[in-house]
Structure 1
Amino acid sequence: MTLAADRISASDRAYADLLDGIQSGLLPAGFVLGEVEQAARLGVSRTPMREALRRLAADGLVVQQSPRVTVVADLDAEDIRALFEIRRALEETSARLAAARGDAALFRNLAEEFAHVDLTAVEGRDAYYALIARFDAALDAAVANDYIASALRTVRTHLVRVRRMARDKPARLEASAAEHRTIAQALADRDGELAAHATHVHLHNALTGILETLNEGQK
């Protein structure tokens, strides 16, 4: 293995570790990511750590407060509203395209899975989020547009942090599963306008629920 490959591997490992920490909440907004400290913690040199931090900055997940201080980016109500604006444009367009281009049988099977999710236990909720990931992957494959897929990857990187805010709301999770089922069924029926409308409703409800959670936390 070349030195360049070693460096890239170390950078990828550092990026993945920090990304997981940010998305899981272990590294909360405002947390200082010291280059030297984080490099020592992960057992990598400062060069791959610097590269990992640059990638996170490009993703909008960290901000450079000074030449030597990098912190985890905040995620407030305005950030979330802005995220959902681009999410709505991308996902409603994707729904219309996937209805015309996708595998109807695949989306019919996904609709059936959404109808039988068990959200009463942690394992069931984890399986539900894994099902959403499979649905997203099927949607991307059906759309077959690399530009849309690339933009959605960036959005979804932030959505992991946002979704965590609604994870403990059973009623919202139940409603979300039903909304995903409606979208998947519309895609199976090749009804692009219904799929786009159902996506719009789902995103409106998701945003409302998240903002309510934020407001409750500030009281």
Structure 2
Amino acid sequence: MHAQSRRSGHVRASERAYARLREDVLDGVLAPGAVLAEVDQSQRLGVSRTPVREAFARLVAEGLARPLAGRGLVVAPLDVEGLEHLYDLREALEVKAARLAAARRDAGAFERFAHAFAAAPRLLDSEAGLDRCYALSAEFDAAVDAAAANPWLQQALASVRTHLVRIRRLARHDPARLRAAAAEHQLIAEAIAAGDADLAAHAVHVHLHRSRTHFGEQLRAERARREEVGA
């Protein structure tokens, strides 16, 4: 009984450490390139080193952390090359999902999303409004996934979106980009509602091209700032 209780406690500690570390990486509390030391994180989280070590392994498996020779683990950096790789995969998956969703749609649901995205720019003047816009985008993604009705595609997209959370922080305080993204999402929703697979695919392509360009510029600017500080 005691052994079972210890195992249960260990599992809870491991899950707790993983959930907290993952959240901190996605939120930027643990910044890209930050060193992940077992001792430091176990003290910060109030758990032993073993749960932290197990949590680190899961972060590496997700691509959120990576080994660095001589330094143990670091939070995976955000760089232009990684962005390009991510968006290559994202476009292939999301274009296919939009096509399937247009063919298998719930027209009423996507019409409601189109109306919601049309109203979204009015929410951008407050933190609560920003949070609502991001929540609306997540709800829309889930609706497209459900309409596509392909569990393998949904699983692949879930992995991609984990990394998009980190990248999207770069646009959080850029109202112009957020307004443009809302209009792009509105067009995607309208195309799916109309059952127009070609238009839906094209609208996704345009949205991702603009998103890739915007975030690429942000990452290049951030890299230039770091190089200037280090000079």
Which TM-score band applies after superposition, normalised by the shorter structure?
Answer: over 0.9
Q: Compute the displacement of 1:122 (Å).
A: 1.7
Residue 102 to residue 4, structure 1, CA distance change in 2 (3 Å): farther
Q: Which amino acid aligns with 1:176?
A: A
1:88 to 74, 86, 91: 91
Tell me the distance in 2 between the aligned counterparts of 1:4 and 1:111.
49
Q: Which amino acid aligns with 1:212?
A: E
- Gap runs ≥5 in structure 2: 226-231
Q: 2:74 is paired with a residue of what secondary structure?
A: strand
Alignment of 1:1-219 (within 5 A): 2-66=5-69, 69-117=72-120, 118-217=123-222, 218=224
Tell me the distance in 2 between the aligned counterparts of 1:176 and 1:164.
14
Structure of larger gyration radius: 2
Tell me the distance in 1 between the aligned counterparts of 2:16 and 2:186.
36
**Runs of 4+ off more than 6 Å:** none
* Identical pairs, percent: 51
Tell me how many residue pairs correspond in the alignment.
219
- Gap runs ≥5 in structure 1: none
Residue 5 to residue 109, structure 1, CA distance change in 2 (3 Å): farther
Q: Compute the displacement of 1:25 (Å).
A: 1.3
Tell me the distance in 1 between the aligned counterparts of 2:71 and 2:32.
17
Q: Which amino acid aligns with 2:139?
A: R
Tell me the distance in 2 between the aligned counterparts of 1:9 and 1:202.
40
Q: Compute the displacement of 1:87 (Å).
A: 0.2
CA RMSD in angstroms, aligned pairs only: 1.6
- Comparing 8-17 with 86-95, which one deviates more in the overlay? 8-17
Tell me the distance in 2 between the aligned counterparts of 1:101 and 1:16.
35
Q: Which amino acid aligns with 2:64?
A: L
Q: 1:116 is paired with a residue of what secondary structure?
A: helix
Q: Which amino acid aligns with 1:216?
A: A
Q: TM-score, normalised by structure 1?
A: 0.94
Q: Which amino acid aligns with 1:122?
A: E
Q: Compute the displacement of 1:65 (Å).
A: 2.0
